[in-house]
A and B are shown apart, each in its own frame.
Chain A
Amino acid sequence: MDFDYFTQLFLGGLTRGSIYALIALGYTMVYGIIQLINFAHGEIYMIGAFTGLIVSSVLTMMGMPALGVVVMAAMAAVIYSSAYGYTMEKIAYKPLRNAPRLSALISAIGMSLFLQNYVLLAQTSDFLPFPSLIPDFEFWEPYAHMITSPELVILITTFVVMVLLTVLIKFTKIGKAMRATSQDQVMAALLGINVDRIISFTFVVGSATAAIGGILIASHIGQINFYMGFIAGIKAFVAAVLGGIGSIPGAVLGSFVLGWTESFFTGYISSDYEDVFAFIILVVILIFRPAGILGKSETQKV
């Protein structure tokens, strides 16, 4: 077995997994707090990519240096996507807070179709070329055959986002309130926590990480279209379920497992069956651990 090839696949899987993780976090946080699978989450990621494309094109035309373009585009995408996430929750989910769970789920699917078609009409159905925002660093040249500069940036960005998110959720006041709300909403309200505000905040954070993921992958793959959120969303959803939906470390672990599975199977067997492998691993894990790798099986105490 060629060790270089193995390392390449390993790192490729890690990069893929990072992207999935950035999206999966949004799924798992929202699920953790209101037990809703937000099917429109992939669309938030797509909108992030579109915003990134528009902003970076304009800024490049105006002659801004590459680094400035990346930062500004990412910031714009984060803000714009967060606004979408916030609004989406207020319009599509909040009125259904006390309705049966299925209603909110259908509302989420409706939101997903609406956003796809809205971007289709407002933009285009064609694939749009996305500029490679991240340059090839010279100092990285000797290792570039293993992992390219843009991939390295993806890995580092993901790592930084994860660390920030962990700090936010573990140590800040609002992070603790998020955990408390996810465990018992009524009790949280009885302690003076504004539950609506915490839920909105969760959507904003989830949307922001998805937008970062959207920009990174668009710049890596080099093209985007209105449908990109659907497949990425499904994959990230699989990753979140694999790891145990509702669990944040679970979402990250699930994403890496999925990334490596796809990378190794396509590398050693065939790239035609990439998605098949992804779903096979899902089925296998759910047979043996129905709650996901790190998921807590729900035991109801009465």
Chain B
Amino acid sequence: MLKLRNVQSYYGNIQALKDISLDVREGEIITLIGANGAGKSTTLMTLCGVVPARQGQVIFEGQDITAMAPEKIVALGISQVPEGRRIFPYLTVTENLDMGTFLRKDPKGIKQDMDHIFELFPILAERRNQPGGTLSGGEQQMLAISRALMSKPKLLLLDEPSLGLAPIIIARIFDIIKRINKESNTTILLVEQNANLALKVADRGYVMETGSITMTDTGQNLLANEDVKKAYLGI
């Protein structure tokens, strides 16, 4: 479904991605783990077209999207929940969700999906007229995921959904991620620093270090791997 081939990206003159190749197949949950500054978020931003790749290729469903504008990539069915959630603070909860449907033209389907979201997250329904900025961290994360789902993505990119949240909330968020994957067959690429948690839900994982991928295996095998244990699981 998604292929990255020898992708290199830069911020100005600083190379952030040295040579990234990875594959995501339809229906999978793939995780990308690694330390701060390894280039995980940059990988997501590159495949969304925000930080365009200088070299290499990004291919989505057979189509080369390497040099495409971000809004065109979204139209193909890739949606990102970026790091730090990036809720529009002065838009209401409903308006934030509306923005997720920006490219859709089926008012009925939008209405249905909105109701479905409010069923899934009753707290968002309760706060629907409140500005996004007034929500708690966990509520904002739910809103960010919901906003991304409103565009009906085929591939959902999640950047550190556990960041700054209480363990109980994290557990709920991860349950929801699994549910999204199963119920609507949405493929998921999950970037996490919380390697333990991420590898447990993932079919396969990639380990990143300073702009390169150093290891790849199934989630289970990576969990059992001695190097991964030492470096990322703190065991």
Contacts and interface: CB of A to CB of B under 8 A. Distances in A.
Given A191-B151, A194-B71, A183 B82 contact: no
A190 B91 contact: no
User: What size tier do the contact residues of chain B reach?
Assistant: 20 to 34
A34 interface: no
Interface in A44-67: none
A124 to B, nearest CB: 45
A176 B48 contact: no
Contact of A191 (B69, B90, B99): B99
B75 A186 contact: no
Nearest to A195: B71
Interface string B93-137: 001001110110000000000000000000000000000000000
Q: Which of B71, B86, B95 has the most CB of A within 10 A?
A: B71
A194 B68 CA distance: 12
Contacts of A177: 99, 102
B105 to A, nearest CB: 10
Given A179-B88, A180-B88, A186-B86, A191 B95 contact: no
A145 interface: no
B147 A191 contact: yes
A183 B99 contact: no
Contacts of A194: 69, 71
Interface in B49-88: 50, 69-71, 74-75, 79-80, 82, 86, 88
Given A180-B88, A183-B89, A183-B91, A189 B71 contact: yes
A193 to B, nearest CB: 5
B99 A176 contact: yes
A168 to B, nearest CB: 14
Interface residues of A, number: 17
A176 B98 contact: yes
Contact of B99 (A186, A188, A195): A188
A63 B99 CA distance: 50
B99 A180 contact: yes
A187 interface: yes
A183 B80 CA distance: 17
Given A176-B95, A177-B99, A186 B50 contact: yes
Contacts of A195: 71
Nearest to B150: A191
A95 interface: no
Given A176-B95, A180-B91, A187-B88, A192 B75 contact: yes
B11 to A, nearest CB: 12
B86 A179 contact: no
B135 to A, nearest CB: 14
A184 interface: yes
B151 A192 contact: yes
Interface of B: 48, 50, 69-71, 74-75, 79-80, 82, 86, 88-91, 95, 98-100, 102-103, 147, 151
Interface of A: 173, 176-177, 179-180, 183-184, 186-195
18 contacts: A173-B98, A173-B102, A176-B91, A176-B95, A179-B88, A183-B90, A184-B88, A186-B50, A186-B86, A189-B70, A190-B79, A190-B86, A191-B99, A192-B70, A192-B71, A192-B103, A193-B102, A195-B71
Given A189-B70, A192-B151, 10 more contacts: A173-B102, A179-B91, A180-B91, A180-B95, A186-B50, A188-B99, A189-B71, A190-B70, A191-B102, A193-B102
